[in-house]
Amino acid sequence: MRKFFLNGSISPLSSQSNSRSPSPVLQILPTHRFQPRQIHKRPTIKWALVLVALIAFYTLGRVVSSTQRPAKRDMDDNSFLLGEDIPSVRFYDLSQSTGSSRGWERNERVLICVPLRDASPVLPLFFSHMRNLTYPHHLIDLAFLVSDSTDPTLQTLLHHLSILQQSSLRFNQALVFEKDFGQGVGQAFSDRHGFEAQGPRRKVMARARNWLLTNALTAEYSWVYWRDADVETAPATILEVHC
């Protein structure tokens, strides 16, 4: 069955594709008529849905990964000596970290204990000494005990620590403890060194040192270095060369 059009050709398709001869007559097809632009659906909603879906996936992923976070890898102990690396079980062989004369080459870690009391004025000097220490800083942990201070020792300490620990000379970590021991003796030179004050003062200092030590000394350390904050000059190589 054939359909005849106005121009006499058999069909619009055959007239264009099959005969390949340009038609002399202008064809006006229904599709060539003016048609008002279709009102397209706005794409905003679609994209918003995609965005919401992405956010949902992301949040879900975060939640799942935080709840199923793999146990902390115990790279810093000797768990492999147990035959397998059991998560959350740590094994320490302290006979390997007794401290030796070649500590720096054997990555022996040092805990520096510093009792502080009304030490605000001497802290800048102390920190310059710490920065100058030649022992590898990533093997050193600092532990401070701030006690019975009437001056802003703690604030000054935190200020200096925040600068130091964000610099290239940063130490492995710094621990700051604050505890008062009720020292009845003043910190002035004449107070500290009067004869009557010596016995009680030494006993309180001993309590403070023990408190700091038992809180800070963990299994990683091979050495403990006690250092007063008011040392004025000391060799930067004091840890590995001079001691």
Contact positions vs another protein (CB under 8 A): 94, 97-101, 103-104, 111, 122, 195, 198-199, 202-207, 209-210, 213, 217, 221-228, 230-235, 238-243
> Shortest gap between Cβ of 154 and another protein (angstroms)?
21
Residue with tokens 């091979």: 222
Contact 136, 104 (CB under 8 A): yes
Q: How far apart are CA 74 and CA 81, in angstroms?
A: 12
Nearer to another protein, 23 or 107 (CB): 107
Nearer to another protein, 113 or 161 (CB): 113
> Shortest gap between Cβ of 127 and another protein (angstroms)?
15
> Shortest gap between Cβ of 98 and another protein (angstroms)?
5
Contact 115, 202 (CB under 8 A): no
Nearer to another protein, 85 or 220 (CB): 220
DSSP per residue, 48-83: HHHHHHHHHHHHHHHHHHHHTPPPPP-TTS-GGGGT
> Shortest gap between Cβ of 236 and another protein (angstroms)?
12
> Shortest gap between Cβ of 175 and another protein (angstroms)?
15
> Shortest gap between Cβ of 136 and another protein (angstroms)?
12
Nearer to another protein, 71 or 234 (CB): 234
Q: How far apart are CA 180 and CA 149, in angstroms?
A: 8
Nearer to another protein, 159 or 209 (CB): 209
3-state SS, residue 217: coil
Q: Torsion over CA of 167, 168, 172 and 176, rounded to 10 degrees?
A: -20
H or E element, residue 212: helix 195-216
Nearer to another protein, 114 or 174 (CB): 114
